[in-house]
A and B are shown apart, each in its own frame.
Chain A
Amino acid sequence: MKIVVCIKQISDPEYFPQITLDPETGSIQRDKVPAILNPLDENALEEGLRIKEKFSGTLTVVTMGPPGAREVLDWALALGADEAVLLSDRAFAGADTLATAYTLAEYMRKMVEPDIILCGNQTEDGATGQVAPQIAELLNIPHVTSVSEVSYVDESTLIAKQNIEYGGYLKVKVKLPALLAVVKDINEVRDITAEGIMNASDKEFKTLGAADLEVDPGCVGNNGSPTSVIGTFKQEIDRQKEILTGTPQEIANKVLQKIHDANIL
């Protein structure tokens, strides 16, 4: 079975309040903000490893990003991925979800033809959750998002539990090839081992650009993005911004008084 896991390096959410946006271009300025692997992508890789263990096959891990994104691919190789691919090119910069999905889908269509694709349900930075279903659609294969459980009828059919509101769910029967976007509940992520790290350096790693993928230049990066940022603005916040001081008892007293005076309750 050919398994592809899509992962993404993101800015550490702990540091989100320190991220600023360029007032001219609207692009994100994240210097000095540490980068981490998107948390749900760990679950996607874990699920990929389990499928490989169950049916055998090869597991390719792929990301689109700047050269520094290699870090998260090395981590995936150490955990057990067989090969890693970094899609990196200046032409890919400024991509919205459609252009990102197009680039990843073109790589898979031309180089892998996967049986199953796994993604984290959403990233913690953009959090749109759009790229995964869009990859599937561009490959003309089915997808299931918010997957919290998978069982296999046979090697080409699976049943996915798709979470909906308030703990409800859909049971979805899917024929492979297909894409699953997973949530945290799907599995417990394994630990990295020293042996895994040692083995990782012998595994295949490649970087592919726009020319390697023979992509349509009008479909990638900023050019291929039907949505764009026109600017960033300071929100007008009309609040009283009164800071209370005193002992905890005094403060609690004042809070109750304020709530009473403001006639809220």
Chain B
Amino acid sequence: MSNNNNIWVWIEQRNGKLMDVSLQTLGKGIELAKHLAGKVSAVLIGDNIEGMAKEIICYGADNVYLVADPGLKLYQSRAYTRIISELITMHKPDILLMGASNIGIDLAPAVAARVKTGLTAHCSDLQIETIDNKPQLVATIPGFSGGMIVKIVWNEIKPWMATVSSGVAEKPDFDETRQGAVVKVDYEAKDEDLQIQTVEMVEREPASMPVEGAAIVVSGGKGIKTNEEFKLIKDLAEVLGAALGGTRPARDAEWITTDNLIGSSGKTISPKLFISIGASGAAHYTCGFMKAKYIIAIDKDPSAPIFDMCDLGIQADLNEIVPCLIEQLKSS
């Protein structure tokens, strides 16, 4: 028997709907379980969620720990932390993955601190490697300089925990004939749970086309200095029917929102065409689109690392090249 075979995935639900990033993370859990000949268990917390537990089994979990209570309808950070930590102590999973939604990255560090185990964030990949003749979970994160990756491992303390960003793994296929066990777990609120209470959740739809799932993505970096330059990028995206993403400096300048941030602390995407404009190519950015089918890079600096990572490079001022591209796209 391998001793690495119980893989858990916390599945987040909001208002009765399973989060996509959680299902993608479940997909990663299933993939790891195949390598380890192990089992995948999901942890689902909320209220009126039994239907969702069955759905998770259809997506490939072997069993679901279901914790349902009216007081758990919304994310309650202390209660959720205590529930998951107590389940860990009782069942001793080997690996625990959580989707890196805003709520996932609020919850995961607290659970890791409570059970005093290791947690990695923003991995561009997670895989099983054999180290010292033992299967070991290895997380890959981007290095600083372009094209470098860093590998991280956990020590002997279990569970090995990781948050998995949107787009890193694929949502598993849905098979409505799959069978699995739903294990109901009782919940009773304790005083400590109530030190913090989420009283309301307001969900919003994306205000612009999301970068995840888009066929074409145009992305801007710190080379964009003015509103006029940003408008050029936006116009190019529009004429291509593309989603608009960007780097951290573009986010900080409020050209884009955090939801369309590309890279290790944002989205990992695999569009058919990715056009990067005015970004030199730091690893924490480029790791977000390395799975794109075709990459075009535009930057003034001929020595920018981005030109080693693209299919087509244009070493020019965006003010000269982008208007020409827009014009020709319009007339073609």
A: which residues have CB within 8 A of B?
A: 13-14, 16-21, 26, 28, 39, 96-98, 101, 122, 124, 127-134, 136-138, 140-146, 159, 162-175, 178, 184, 225-235, 237, 239-244, 248-249, 251-253, 255-256, 258-259, 262, 264-265
* Nearest B residue to A181, CB-CB: B106
The 8 tightest CB contacts between A and B, nearest first, are A226-B118, A142-B196, A19-B144, A137-B113, A252-B324, A227-B118, A128-B121, A130-B109
Verify A178–B118 contact, CB threshold 8 A: no
Q: Which of B78, B106, B109 contacts A146 (CB 8 A)?
A: B106
Verify A145–B144 contact, CB threshold 8 A: no
Could you tell me the distance in whole angstroms from the C-beta of B223 to the nearest C-beta in chain A? 12
Verify B151–A145 contact, CB threshold 8 A: no
A243 to B303, CA, bound (A): 12
Given contacts A138-B113, A241-B313, contact A98 B138 (CB under 8 A): no
Q: Which of A138, A173, A233, A248 contacts B320 (CB 8 A)?
A: A248
Given contacts A255-B312, A262-B294, contact A170 B152 (CB under 8 A): no
Chain A residues with Cβ below 8 Å from B290 are 235, 237
B: which residues have CB within 8 A of A?
A: 74-75, 77-78, 81, 101-103, 105-106, 108-110, 112-114, 116-122, 131, 138, 143-155, 157, 192, 195-207, 215-216, 222, 248-249, 252, 257, 259, 264-265, 272-273, 280-284, 290, 293-296, 305, 307-316, 320-321, 323-325, 327-329, 332
Verify B305–A169 contact, CB threshold 8 A: no
Q: What number of A-B contacts does a CB cutoff of 8 Å give?
A: 262
Name 21 interchain pairs, CB-CB below 8 A, sorted by A.
A122-B265, A128-B122, A130-B105, A133-B109, A142-B195, A143-B110, A143-B196, A145-B102, A164-B101, A170-B74, A170-B200, A170-B202, A171-B198, A174-B195, A174-B196, A178-B195, A228-B152, A229-B152, A252-B321, A259-B273, A262-B294
A137 to B202, CA, bound (A): 26
Could you tell me the distance in whole angstroms from the C-beta of A108 to the nearest C-beta in chain B? 14
Verify A225–B109 contact, CB threshold 8 A: no
Chain B's interface: helix, strand, loop or mixed, by majority?
A: mixed
Chain A residues with Cβ below 8 Å from B196 are 142-144, 172-175, 178
Could you tell me the distance in whole angstroms from the C-beta of B94 to the nearest C-beta in chain A? 14
Verify A256–B112 contact, CB threshold 8 A: no
Verify A242–B313 contact, CB threshold 8 A: yes
Verify B273–A173 contact, CB threshold 8 A: no
Verify A166–B106 contact, CB threshold 8 A: no
